[in-house]
């Protein structure tokens, strides 16, 4: 087969034409023959059996039958009309019913000629089948024998414009005739024989027109493996190239700043996990390759101290460091924390944000360029072209998923050599996802909390228990503690959320009246200055209760707050619930998280609440979240490109992913440049992939 045939625009396929081609492009992203081949079915309908009318059961199952239409008539009903046909076989009779499309059906149906019909049966004084799929028996016998009928992705617009599943299936059959169903294999003989994978042509044929369940399973495995294998090959190659080609600055000195801080100013003993991670980082930055490491650690696990000690190593080697955070609150918190920790060291730390005054900015720019500024902390403002460093050696990015790739690469280009990169996240990323999204990064995990931290007790209560919950709050405030009460904020229903928040605030104000109690309130409609004022009062302990929407999710540190109440907890996602819970439990006292809900809960909501009550482990929670929501949602749009998988599923196909990564690593270890004869096809496919970006544009 001429490989270029697959790049033919879809307009040229028999039965498509310009208007259908436009719909396929806009609705399904199908531009070429190639794209159509890679439009994989969502599910399959088993058409291995033909039923007789007297074998039908009163279940609304999908069945396939052979018989004749002997009579057709229009029936008036309360609203509109329905078209009813009498369908018979040698065991009985039933009705076929249409509620729309009457004219076309009436004109095209042939009486007393054998048809194959397929659809869901209904039973009411006898069997009927609404809107059956129909095909003349003579046509049915000529077509590619499809026992398992594929069901393709579709949209309402396609269905309304007559591009039904059957039409898509017909297009696919035509494509197979045009290409003679021959596709190059894209995996080496060695991989195929070791894993007993079927040939590419056989896999493609059986994914669209499976002869039976067993061949379908083989086709799915083969195509899933291939998709995940090439993603892993790309990621691991990127990592190897970076380690060999991209030189970093070797930080060979462990100098005064680091040792003085470690020996004399460390406010607490480091946990073993923190020590292990610092060792991993020191090994990276001590070599001449650029570090690219992801540091994962749950809320409160002590990532900031690890980040600070890494910046001290940069300063000891005469380099500058910068720390970038996604929000002003978070940047400010990092700044306050680092200034406090380094107050006895001779270090210049500055904060740069969108709101920084012009005079302050000029000073910062000057100090950066003459090298007297050691650590710059800031928001996106750090990325502006005006911000130039004398010698940036380390860039730390907090909550990486909130920054796009283009923004991160700006930091790279602030130097002749790229700085060492440390990416931090408090959103635990399940291992499966990390292998796919960050397969090109080295990963460090802080998996233990500092000693003395008690784990937070989490309970689920219904609205009917509210009085008991208020009694509990009063007891905790009596002990001198503070309480958060958080309401959901969902953009689409801002007015409703605001009403919930205000109703909640009023009911709390009635139960906790002044002057005995003081309450802060923070929500999205307030001016920033008012928000800061209310937050400040709570931080200083002037108020007992903070009633808020989720603005407190990131960056508030109040060690005296020991109770987190989450209202309408069923409306929050798991990672949000986990982040909110992490706002308490920062002091030495026992802390509590109370999840309040109504009685009406979906099964997903129940799973989320049960998970929160069962565990405090962020990674455990992230795995459940991944199963519930799928990878695209978890990482947001910026990362979902990698996960725009055509056939594999990172959660369900976890084992295939591991196998694919194992083979990619094994092959690159033996043959990093894929220059051996046996890997020729892998190199060719990989180069095509690099050209086209989209993995499936070339795999056939």
Q: Quick one: pLDDT at residue 527? A: 83
User: Is 668 within a domain?
Assistant: yes
User: Is 641 within a domain?
Assistant: no
Q: Of 510-514, 627-631, 680-684, 692-696, which gets the smallest average pLDDT?
A: 692-696
Residues 236 and 271 in one domain: no
Residues 356 and 265 in one domain: yes
The residue-averaged pLDDT of 242-247 equals 75
More confident residue, 384 or 587: 384
Residues 222 and 351 in one domain: no
Residues 172 and 53 in one domain: no
Residue 463 DSSP SS3: helix
User: Is 81 within a domain?
Assistant: yes
Phi and psi angles of residue 231, each rounded to the nearest 5 degrees, phi first:
-65, -45
Residues 385 and 239 in one domain: no
User: Is 642 within a domain?
Assistant: no
Q: Is the pLDDT of residue 431 over 80?
A: no
* C-alpha span between 617 and 447 (Å, rounded): 9
β strands within 339-414, DSSP E: 349-352, 375-378, 392-398
Residues 506 and 606 in one domain: yes
User: Is 202 within a domain?
Assistant: no
Q: Quick one: pLDDT at residue 589? A: 82
Residues 437 and 310 in one domain: yes
pLDDT tens profile 333-371? 889 889 999 998 989 999 999 888 999 999 999 999 999
Q: How confident is the model at residue 494 (pLDDT cuts 50, 70, 90)?
A: low
Residues 98 and 174 in one domain: no
Q: Of 172-176, 459-463, 639-643, 644-648, which gets the smallest average pLDDT?
A: 639-643
Q: Give the sheet arrangement for strand 133-136, strand by strand.
A: 122-123, 127-130, 92-98, 81-89, 62-76, 114-120, 133-136
* C-alpha span between 142 and 94 (Å, rounded): 27
* C-alpha span between 593 and 456 (Å, rounded): 7
Residues 560 and 597 in one domain: yes
The residue-averaged pLDDT of 478-506 equals 80
Nearest partner of 109 among 132, 91, 129, 92, judged by Cα: 132
Residues 561 and 429 in one domain: no
Among 446, 466, 482, the domain boundary falls at 446
The residue-averaged pLDDT of 16-23 equals 91
Q: Is the pLDDT of residue 134 over 70?
A: yes
User: Is 505 within a domain?
Assistant: yes
Among 554, 586, 615, the domain boundary falls at 615
Q: What is the CATH number of the domain that holds 64?
A: 2.40.50.140
Q: Is the pLDDT of residue 563 over 60?
A: yes
Among 120, 145, 170, the domain boundary falls at 145
Rounded to two decimals, the pTM is 0.65
pLDDT tens profile 654-678? 789 889 999 999 999 999 999 999 9
Q: Which of 271-275, 425-429, 575-579, 646-650 has the highest mean pLDDT?
A: 271-275
Residues 369 and 467 in one domain: no
Q: Is the pLDDT of residue 426 over 80?
A: no
Q: Of 86-100, 460-474, 616-630, 634-648, which gets the smallest average pLDDT?
A: 634-648
Take residue 358 and report the two structure tokens written for it: 């012009």
Q: What is the CATH number of the domain that holds 596?
A: 3.40.50.300
User: Is 261 within a domain?
Assistant: yes
Q: Is the pLDDT of residue 11 over 80?
A: yes
Residues 141 and 221 in one domain: no
User: Is 637 within a domain?
Assistant: no
The residue-averaged pLDDT of 35-61 equals 83
Domain span at 681: 212-245+660-697
Q: Quick one: pLDDT at residue 553? A: 46
The full 3-state SS of 606-624, as one line of letters, equals HHHHHHHHHCCCHHHHHHH
The number of distinct structural domains making up the chain is 5
Q: Quick one: pLDDT at residue 491? A: 52
- pLDDT > 70: what percent of the chain? 89
């Amino acid at each position: 087969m001429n490989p270029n045939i697959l790049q033919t625009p879809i307009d040229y396929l028999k039965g498509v034409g310009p208007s259908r081609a436009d719909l396929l492009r806009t609705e399904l992203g199908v531009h070429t023959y190639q794209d159509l081949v890679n439009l994989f079915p969502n599910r399959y309908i088993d058409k291995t059996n033909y039923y007789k009318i007297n074998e039908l059961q009163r279940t609304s199952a999908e069945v396939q039958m052979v018989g004749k239409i002997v009579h057709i008539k229009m029936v008036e009903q309360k609203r509109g009309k329905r078209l009813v046909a009498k369908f018979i076989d040698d065991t009985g009779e039933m009705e076929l019913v249409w509620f729309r499309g009457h004219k076309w059906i009436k004109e095209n149906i042939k009486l007393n000629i054998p048809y194959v019909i397929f659809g869901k049966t209904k039973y009411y004084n006898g069997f009927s089948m609404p809107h059956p799929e129909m095909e003349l028996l003579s046509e049915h016998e000529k077509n590619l024998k499809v026992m398992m009928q594929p069901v393709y992705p579709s949209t309402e617009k396609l269905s309304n414009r007559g591009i039904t599943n059957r039409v898509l299936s017909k297009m696919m059959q035509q494509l197979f005739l045009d290409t003679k169903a021959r596709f190059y294999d894209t995996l080496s003989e060695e991989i195929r024989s070791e894993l007993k994978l079927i040939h590419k042509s056989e896999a493609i044929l059986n994914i669209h027109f499976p002869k039976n369940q067993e061949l379908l399973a083989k086709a799915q495995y083969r195509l899933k493996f291939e998709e995940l294998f090439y993603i892993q090959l790309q990621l691991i190659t990127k990592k190897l190239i970076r380690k060999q080609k991209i030189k970093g600055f070797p930080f060979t000195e462990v100098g005064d700043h680091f040792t003085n801080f470690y020996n004399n100013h460390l406010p607490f003993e480091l946990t073993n996990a923190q020590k292990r991670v610092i060792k991993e980082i020191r090994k990276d930055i001590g070599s001449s390759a650029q570090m690219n490491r992801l540091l994962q650690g749950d809320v409160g696990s002590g990532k900031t101290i690890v980040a600070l000690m890494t910046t001290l190593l940069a300063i000891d080697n005469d380099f500058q460091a910068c720390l970038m955070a996604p929000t002003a609150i978070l940047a400010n918190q990092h700044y306050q924390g680092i200034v406090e920790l380094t107050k006895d060291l001779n270090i210049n730390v500055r904060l740069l944000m969108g709101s920084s005054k012009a005079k302050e900015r000029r000073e910062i720019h000057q100090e950066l360029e003459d090298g007297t500024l050691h650590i710059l902390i800031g928001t996106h403002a750090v990325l502006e072209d005006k911000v130039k460093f004398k010698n940036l050696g380390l860039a730390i990015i907090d909550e990486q998923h909130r920054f796009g790739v283009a923004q991160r690469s700006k930091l790279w280009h602030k130097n002749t050599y790229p700085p060492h990169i440390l990416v931090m996240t408090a959103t635990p990323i399940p291992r499966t996802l990390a292998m796919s999204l960050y397969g090109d990064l080295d990963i460090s995990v802080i998996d233990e909390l500092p000693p003395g931290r008690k784990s937070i007790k989490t309970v689920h209560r219904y609205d009917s228990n509210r009085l008991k919950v208020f009694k509990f709050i009063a007891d905790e405030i009596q002990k001198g503690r503070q309480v958060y009460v958080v309401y959901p904020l969902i953009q689409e229903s801002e007015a409703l959320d605001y009403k919930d928040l205000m109703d909640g605030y009023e009911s709390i104000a009635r139960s906790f009246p002044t002057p005995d109690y003081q309450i802060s309130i923070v929500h999205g409609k307030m001016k920033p200055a008012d928000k800061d004022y209310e937050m400040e009062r709570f931080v200083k302990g002037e108020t007992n209760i903070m009633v808020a929407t989720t603005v407190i999710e990131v960056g508030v540190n109040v060690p005296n707050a020991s109770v987190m109440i989450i209202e309408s907890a069923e409306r929050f996602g798991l990672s949000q619930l986990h982040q909110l819970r992490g706002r308490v439990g920062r002091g030495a006292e026992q802390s509590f998280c109370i999840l309040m809900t109504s009685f009406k809960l979906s099964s997903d909501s129940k799973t989320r609440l049960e998970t929160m009550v069962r565990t405090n482990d962020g990674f455990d929670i992230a795995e459940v979240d991944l199963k519930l929501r799928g990878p695209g949602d978890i990482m947001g749009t910026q990362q979902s490109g990698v996960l725009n998988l055509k056939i594999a599923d990172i959660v369900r196909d976890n084992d295939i992913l591991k196998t694919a990564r194992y083979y990619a690593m094994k092959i690159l270890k033996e043959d990093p440049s894929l220059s051996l004869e046996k890997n020729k096809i892998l190199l060719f496919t990989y180069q095509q992939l690099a050209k086209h970006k989209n993995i499936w544009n070339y795999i056939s």
